[in-house]
Amino acid sequence: MFELLVFLFLVLLVFFVGSYGGYYLYLRSRVGKPWGFVVDEGFEPSVSVLIPVHNEEKKIEEKLENVSGVVYPREKLEVVVVDDASSDETLSKVKGFNERNPSLNVKIVKQEVHGGKAVALNKALSACSGSVLVVSDADTLWPADALKRALAFLADPVVGAVTGRSVNRVAGDSWVTRGEDEYLRFAEVVRLGESKVHSTIRFEGGLCAFKREAFERFDCVSGSDDSGTALEVVQNGFRTILAPGAVFFTEFPSGFGGKLRVKVRRANQLIGLWVKCFKLLLKGGLRLPKRIVIPEFLLFVVDPILFVMLIATAVVGIVVFPFSMFTLLVAVLLLGGLAAGRRLFFEIVVDNLILLYALLERLTGKRYVAWKRTDA
């Protein structure tokens, strides 16, 4: 039994660590490669900036002020505020801003029934005149050059959508935000590497730019309007890219409870998306390369299960054989992981437990389609 337990533990460990480390090292080797398409910072199409809101009275004026400060020709820029049945003073704030800033072309589209972000965005499509639609959440802010840096990647006909890179404004507030900052650096390498290989569909709501001809409607099924729509863009024959210089600022919850709520919702959505990709791959209908889909499916769906099996095997081995080389091996691996990168090690542990919980939610039919604010 002892030999079998050690063998099982080592197999699980090699597969789990290999899927993370192998994919990360492969993508890091691709980061420095050329794009293979034209990036033109002089590209200036007509743009509709969509700002979806639901009870954003505390944030919307700051957001509109921020967008009004972007460096872009005013005659080519319009702002569409999409209200998803707000019950606070959000619309009053928008109208007040309009009165004070008539030079910025701001439209309002109101949805009477709270249906979720993607439903609201789709209702606003008919009000948009831009050839590029840029979606940005109300609680995120842009540097003045963020829009120009993102649009430069849409100059080439092969690119259909671009996402920005989030920067946490409160990264040093707590151990929770410092850990999330560590995760964001890891994820940035993954997203940039995937973009160099072909495409990343890990899009973020702070800055997503889509060519009108690259998609028909925002994804309302997966709950992930940004990443789900990016997948549609890829399926329509375009590439979807992370523009590393197009940053946006956000505030990640500083409390552990807020972190869990945000991460569980996002994990639930992305698991559904990668399952969809894997099904398309099996049917031969997926345009995203296998060398992206298979590792991502392993990371989001398979690895959380293996992680729990790994923990269970370690616990059983320690309980049954407390004074053995197996217990020493587990202790060495644990201390080695902490020494190599305490925050990243902790994030990997927490994220896999979150993914397992989100996977169980998916299996029981729970979905996150309508948004909810998570401040704490």
Percent helix, percent strand, percent coil in the chain, to nearest 5: 55, 15, 30
Task: Collect all residues with Cβ–Cβ distance below 8 Å to 353 and sequence separation of at least 6.
Answer: 304, 307
Pairing of strands 159-168, 239-250: parallel
* Residue keyed to tokens 């009870």: 55
Contact indicator for 169, 195 with CB cutoff of 8 Å:
no
- Alpha-carbon span 168 to 177, nearest angstrom: 8
Q: Where is 280: in which H helix or E strand?
A: helix 256-283
Can you give the pLDDT at residue 297? 96
Could you tell me how many residues make up the chain?
A: 376
Can you give the pLDDT at residue 220? 82
Count helices and strands (H / E) in the chain.
12, 7
pLDDT digits (tens, 9 = 90+) for 216-233: 999 987 778 899 999 999
- Alpha-carbon span 79 to 81, nearest angstrom: 6
Residue 35: phi, psi to the nearest 5?
-70, -40
Can you give the pLDDT at residue 42? 93
Phi-psi region of 365 (alpha: psi -120 to 50; beta: other; left: phi over 0): left
Q: Which two tokens stand for residue 292?
A: 């992206």
Strands (DSSP E) contained in 195-329 are 208-211, 239-250
- Alpha-carbon span 114 to 29, nearest angstrom: 45
Q: Taking the chain, what is the end-to-end CA distance rounded to the nearest angstrom? A: 47
Write down the pTM of the prediction: 0.90
Can you give the pLDDT at residue 103? 85
Q: Which two tokens stand for residue 222?
A: 């997966």
From residue 39, give the alpha-carbon distance in Å to each of 200, 209, 333.
17, 15, 44
Can you give the pLDDT at residue 320? 82
Residues of the chain with pLDDT under 50: 374-376
pLDDT digits (tens, 9 = 90+) for 314-325: 888 888 888 788
Q: Is the torsion defined by CA of 89, 93, 98, 104 positive or negative? A: negative
Contact indicator for 23, 200 with CB cutoff of 8 Å:
no
Can you give the pLDDT at residue 45? 97
Other C-beta atoms closer than 10 Å to the C-beta of 338 total: 12
Classify residue 141 by its DSSP letter.
B
Can you give the pLDDT at residue 374? 46
